[in-house]
Amino acid sequence: MTPTAAAPIRQHLPSSSSSARSGNLRLPARLRLPARPRAAPSASMSAEPRPAPSPVPPPAHPTYDLSAVIALALSEDAGHRGDVSCLATIPTDVKAEATFIAKEDGVIAGISLAEMIFNQVDPSLKVQWFETDGNYVHKGLQFGKVYGCAQSIIVAERVVLNFMQRMSGIATMTKAMADAARPACILETRKTAPGLRLVDKWAVLIGGGKNHRLGLFDMVMIKDNHISVAGGITNAMTSVDQFLVKENLAVPVEVETRTLEEVRDLLKYTDENKTSLTRIMLDNMVVPLPNGDLDVSMLKDAVQLINGRFETEASGNVTIDTVKKIGETGVTYISSGALTHSVKALDISLKIDTELALQVGRRTNRA
């Protein structure tokens, strides 16, 4: 199948995000390529192309440094010698143009992150995008180009694709789940790849989902282990309310319930006490049936008991096949760990224009 280019081309300067800290970390010396002359870009890349800012910014996190994550990914690839394959085969002054091609249908995500990676590897690279984060792409679509030092493009290639393919896979599944879940909102969980928490959650936002808590710091979430140690839901909730008052903290509070009895106990507590509770999780209250159907009667009963007094969140047995029926019960949110812990990467390639590279290479060799 011959790849087809999308039109028109959108060109923008990159935007910075305080939460991403995209430009505050220099690469280790072994990642910086030798100095090289800057040649004029090809005619197709002559308008200082840069990507559109993502329509969805990354989640704001108080300690996560996205530039450091990028530098680590580049460093683990370069090791202590750098790209010996490039150093052995490609002169430092050879220029190339490479094209991003979708190898399957899906939601593209990671365009803004790719821009950060290219910028960290070589700020002189010129990047041009035909799509923005969150757009649906079809197999064979050319959705971006990068022009500049051939070594720099190849050094950045795998890291860029690793991030983009993972993020696009998450965004694609999130989009499918979010569409099916309406009017409920789809959430991910903390079941993210270690070190990639913000990246995974960013992809969920790009796919049309919403973020659950970023970590242990931004929400009180009382789950089964807390309840067991505290001696029951009422004791756990009492301790939470006392702690928040003592520490003068204002954060959302969610409590996990597993039975209708636990829901009633929690509601009884809230009726009798001033409380900080904001959301009730209804865990594993849907039951898959042998015939492939789904029994959501317990979940419906719980939602009716709560009757809009608090946000509700369904969790457990959530799949692309069950999420529609769960969403129809009236819950506010549906959370799915599978969005990030079982992601299937979207296949994307970055191919160098061989003819252009050969022409530049021949001119370089003659010189």
Give the pLDDT confidence of 178-213 residue by residue, as tens digits: 999 999 999 999 999 999 999 999 999 999 999 999
DSSP secondary structure, 91-121, as one string: -TT-EEEEEEEESS-EE---HHHHHHHHHHH
Lowest mean pLDDT segment, chosen from 14-23, 24-33, 65-74, 121-130: 14-23
pLDDT value at residue 51: 46
Where would I find the beta strands (DSSP E) of the chain?
4-5, 95-102, 106-107, 126-129, 136-137, 141-149, 185-187, 220-222, 253-257, 279-283, 287-288, 294-295, 311-315, 333-335, 348-352
pLDDT value at residue 55: 75
d(CA 215, CA 162): 24
Which residues form the catalytic set?
Answer: 158, 191, 223, 256, 283
Give the pLDDT confidence of 17-45 residue by residue, as tens digits: 333 433 333 444 444 444 443 334 444 44
* pLDDT classification of 56: cutoffs 50, 70, 90: confident
pLDDT value at residue 177: 97
* pLDDT classification of 292: cutoffs 50, 70, 90: confident
**pLDDT higher than threshold 80 for residue 302:** yes
